[in-house]
Amino acid sequence: MSAITPCLWFDHSAEEAAAFYVDAFPRAAIRNTTNYPTEGLADFQKDFAGDVLTVDFEIAGQRLLALNAGDLFTFTSAISFMVNFDPSVDPDARHNLDALWEKLIDGGEALMPLDEYPFSSRYGWVRDKFGVNWQLMLTDPTGEPRPMIIPSLLFGSSAQNRAHEATEYYLSVFDGSKMGTDIRHAEQTGPAIRAAVNFSDFRLRDQWFVAMDAGIEQESTFTEAVSFVVPCADQAEIDRYWEALSAVPEAEACGWCKDQFGVSWQITPHNIDELMKRPDAFDHMMEMKKIEMAKL
């Protein structure tokens, strides 16, 4: 069962961004790069002819996909990436956290300054120069072990306070799922809205996720700038995940769909790279909503 992979949507800068992250993070490497065809592209894609389409890379044990696709979508704080620095694993965790912060803040912006907070002795939230959001945290060495990097879903805007509902739904959809931490907010007073989930995490297949409620109303919402690629063994598995995760018909395109909470997914064959080498496969893909493997 293949792991779920976060996909980052960039405006003509996927290759540059992937190189930046590989340089900034430990245990990092470019795995594979694919290119757009040189002909047969739709009008809105013609300036990408022959250019980089995707960069498959790995940082600190987390596989990511960078997609070169234009300016249609932008990153928001609704999806960020937790970066856990565990002193029980890394004796230089605090130093390494600070060093990564200096790299990510260069050309970026601090949304929460690097400082001490009630939940961590060293924490900061940064939006880097490409717009991607990262939360760097010195973790409790006595806590349960987790991967260094975990995608984090912040439920606000139209999905306000639906973190628990979404988590339960995802756990019911994916095989090999597991609930982890589940910490609830105490009742809040004043203008703040009660947030059901202070912090939770869960595993779908081999991929851990964090889910939190925003607590107060905010405009930031999920966009296709971050999606999650679900590799499927066959057409039956594609059909099953598509049925479970596609709730917004107008968002369906080329294997992409959006669920009832606004999170975007790519439901793809596990051997998509091989299938895309077939004659006219790219043209056929552009005509599809749900991917039909036999037509590629």
3-state helix, strand, coil split of the chain in percent (to 5) is 25, 35, 40
Kindly tell me if the per-residue pLDDT of 178 is higher than 90.
yes
**pLDDT score at 294:** 86
For residue 262 the two structure tokens come to: 């606004």
Q: Which residue has the tokens 């889910």?
A: 211
Q: What is the pLDDT of residue 189?
A: 47
- For residue 101, pLDDT over 80 is answered with yes
* Confidence grade of residue 276 (pLDDT, cut at 50, 70, 90): confident
Tally helices (H) and strands (E) across the chain.
Answer: 6, 15
What's the confidence (pLDDT) of residue 188?
A: 53
CB atoms within 10 A of CB 286: 13
Q: Is the pTM of this model over 0.85?
A: yes
The residue-averaged pLDDT of 215-230 equals 88
User: In the structure, what pLDDT confidence band is assigned to residue 191 with cuts at 50, 70 and 90?
Assistant: very low
Band the pLDDT of 225: cuts 50, 70, 90.
very high
Average pLDDT over residues 90-100: 97
Q: Do residues 170 and 180 make contact, with C-beta atoms less than 8 angstroms apart?
A: no
Of 151, 215, 158, 150, the residue nearest 183 (C-alpha): 215
- Mean pLDDT of all residues in 28-53: 84
Which residues are registered as beta bridge partners of 57?
30, 64
pLDDT confidence bin for 282, thresholds 50/70/90: confident
Q: What percent of the chain has pLDDT over 70?
A: 96
CATH superfamily entry for domain 5-73+224-295: 2,3-Dihydroxybiphenyl 1,2-Dioxygenase, domain 1 (3.10.180.10)
Q: Where in the chain is the domain with CATH 3.10.180.10?
A: 5-73+224-295
1 pLDDT exceeds 70?
no
Q: Give the chain's radius of gyration (CA, Å).
A: 19
Mean predicted lDDT score pLDDT of the chain: 91
156 versus 109: the higher-pLDDT residue is 109
Q: Which pLDDT score, from 0 to 100, does residue 88 have?
A: 93
CATH 3.40.50.2300 fits 79-213, yes or no: no
Q: Judge residue 39's burial from the number of C-beta atoms within 10 Å of its C-beta, 0-12 exposed, 13-18 middle, 19 or more buried.
A: exposed
Report whether pLDDT(288) > 90: no
